[in-house]
């Protein structure tokens, strides 16, 4: 089964000190640990087509997600995977059949070359804040740890406004981040060579 949605998020990379400062305000938030397995070909054919692909393991469930850019936000296509099907992709690079598989074939992506290139583990604290959802993340990938605030709302201007309302009272200097977790994790592979 698959579904589509539009994701609009304002993101800010944080220092560890600012992360700890914000964490005090998130102590009643919902705690989540998720693992993302990022998929592409060794030549990064998906990236060349502005496509991001991952399997997320969260609460004993696996979801295959494909993201493509839109004028504002990202179009997300999600497919719930049976655990054994997900593990065949994660462990053996056997890409699951379904709508995402069919879409990639239409783009002439060689499905047989798709494989998990890296993974990222996120320790997330999530709260509902005004009209948006706010996530405070500690991300670990390829011996790197980074910290991020994500604010999701119905428009980018609302998400950015909420971000400022959260960070300004704490005197946290920030710049909006446009580099996704997947891009950071994949780029760190290149820097390890």
CA distance 95 to 111: 7
Instruction: Give the per-residue pLDDT at 68.
Output: 86
Average pLDDT, whole number, for the chain?
Answer: 92
Task: Give Cα 155 to chain centroid, integer Å.
Answer: 18
Does residue 5 surpass a pLDDT of 90? no
Question: Residue 190's pLDDT band (boundaries 50, 70, 90)?
Answer: confident
Do 52 and 180 meet the contact criterion of CB atoms below 8 Å apart? yes
Q: Which residues, including other chains, have CB under 8 Å from residue 109's CB and lie 6 or more apart?
A: 41, 45, 46, 49
Q: Give 63-111 pLDDT, tens digit per residue.
A: 999 998 777 767 889 999 999 999 999 999 999 999 999 999 998 999 9
Domain of 137, in residue numbers:
2-192
- pTM, rounded to two decimals: 0.89
Report the half-sphere exposure of 158 (CA within 13 A, side-chain side): 13
Residue 74 in tokens: 């990202």
CATH code at position 9: 2.40.320.10
Query: SS3 breakdown of the chain: % helix, strand, coil, rounded to 5?
Result: 35, 40, 25
The structural domain count of the chain equals 1
User: How does pLDDT run across 38-64, given as a tens digit for each residue?
Assistant: 999 999 999 998 999 999 999 999 999
Torsion of CA 154, 30, 175, 38, to 10 degrees: -90
């Amino acid at each position: 089964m698959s579904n589509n949605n539009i994701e609009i998020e304002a993101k800010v990379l944080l220092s560890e000190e600012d992360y700890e400062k914000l964490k005090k305000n998130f102590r009643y938030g919902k705690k989540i640990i998720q693992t993302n397995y990022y998929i592409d070909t060794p030549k990064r054919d998906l990236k060349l087509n502005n496509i991001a692909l991952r399997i997320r393991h969260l609460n004993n469930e696996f979801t295959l997600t494909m993201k493509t850019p839109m004028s504002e936000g990202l179009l997300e296509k999600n497919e719930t995977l049976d655990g054994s099907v997900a593990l065949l992709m994660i462990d053996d690079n056997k890409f699951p059949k379904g709508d995402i598989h069919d879409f990639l074939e239409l783009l002439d992506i060689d499905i047989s070359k798709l494989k998990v290139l890296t993974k990222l583990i996120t320790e997330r604290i999530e709260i509902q804040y005004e009209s948006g959802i706010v996530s405070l993340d500690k991300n670990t990938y390829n011996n790197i740890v980074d910290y991020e605030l994500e604010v999701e709302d119905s428009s980018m201007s609302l998400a950015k406004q909420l971000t400022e309302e959260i960070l300004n009272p704490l005197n946290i200097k920030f710049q909006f981040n446009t580099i996704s977790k997947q891009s950071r994790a994949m780029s760190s592979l290149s820097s390890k060579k």
